[in-house]
Amino acid sequence: MTTLSNNAVTARAHTNIALVKYWGKKDENLIIPYTGSLSLTLDYFYTDTQVAFDANLTTDDVQIDGQPASAKTTARVSRFLDIVRQRSGITQSAAVRSTNHVPTAAGLASSASAFAALAAASSRAAGMDLSLTDLSRLARRGSGSACRSIFGGFAEWQPGTDDTNSYAIPIKSHGLADLRVIALTTAKGPKAISSRQGMRLSVTTSPYYPAWIQTAQADLVALKAALAAADFSAIGKISELNAMRMHALTLSADPDFTYFNGQTLTIIDLVKSLRHSGVECYYTIDAGPNVKVLCQSETTEKIVTTFSKVLGDENVIVTKPGPGVQYL
């Protein structure tokens, strides 16, 4: 990445995968969720973002992966930078250079790593020195899941009730160093229904949304107990079930929709048959057709071999727990 100017700040943040998902906003503007969620930050996929406020610019100048960002993306980044400008008192426009470190066009670029890196770089470039809690609150305004990517390892987003108390906290874990997440890519490119739209449709039309609030809260309590006990089987079971409960909201919305494609279903079947044959693994799926498989280091090779045959080597990536946000 070329350096913008002497006062440019660069930050790196990694993506995260939610094991108990965030799905539904109580406050769409402040991004306050209905329920808490818990994720694992991953080492393999990350975003580097450099920000410099510049008196010579008349509008924000945003480039992603070396290309000028679309008008829609630039507007979203500018809305986020407006929060930083308002809090810091800075009035200048900014140059933003962001690079996603994911395999080319793998469909794995994430708003979580993007907004966590943008929050860290832009706040410091504006002269603010925020605590990790305040960075998490700020990142949340860009994309809900970004508040968890401020932290490495496991992070819990405590839903809170307003801007001051809705942020993530790190969850300590012991005995889970050999946990692996295998990312399986089935489709590339942006999804047809954004998570924002999908959540709104689920909240407003699925008759099961009230049940989701109940079960997601219970899943979170159970997951935290499983993490404290370093009980891989329980972690996997809870994560898989919670993912399917989230996707049941899309299938029961009006109009109904799904993020799955044919290969998603094939992978689900394969994970179950691997499990029945004694290879312990579990799946989880976000708002898209790609699947993440949870396993432990000793079974990784077997699972990678199985899925490489179906999807091709380039669509099977092994990831580990990753670090929190850092300045470069």
- Which CB sits closer to ligand PMV, 90 or 244? 244
Q: How far is the CB of 2 from ligand PMV (least distance, A)?
A: 29
What is the H or E stretch that residue 41 is in? strand 37-54
- For residue 207, say if its preceding peptide bond is cis, omega within 30 degrees of 0: no
What is the three-class DSSP state of 287? coil
Q: Half-sphere exposure (CA, 13 Å, Cβ side) for 55?
A: 1
* CB 156 within 8 Å of CB 224: yes
- Which CB sits closer to ligand PMV, 211 or 279? 211
- Which CB sits closer to ligand PMV, 194 or 273? 194
- Which CB sits closer to ligand PMV, 73 or 92? 73
- Which CB sits closer to ligand PMV, 144 or 324? 144
- Which CB sits closer to ligand PMV, 15 or 74? 15
Q: Residue 264 has which token pair? A: 């998603």
Q: How far is the CB of 55 from ligand PMV (least distance, A)?
A: 33
Paired strand residues for 94: 53
Q: How far is the CB of 131 from ligand PMV (least distance, A)?
A: 21
How, if at all, do strands 154-158 and 179-184 pair? Answer: unpaired
Q: Residue 140 has which token pair? A: 């949340």
Q: How far is the CB of 111 from ligand PMV (least distance, A)?
A: 5
Residue 327: C-alpha distances to residues 46, 120, 240 (Å) = 13, 8, 34
Q: How far is the CB of 219 from ligand PMV (least distance, A)?
A: 12
Distance of CA 309 to the CA centre of its chain: 27
Residues at the contact surface with ligand PMV, assessed by CB under 6 A: 18, 21-22, 37, 111-112, 143-145, 195-196, 286-287
Q: How far is the CB of 141 from ligand PMV (least distance, A)?
A: 11
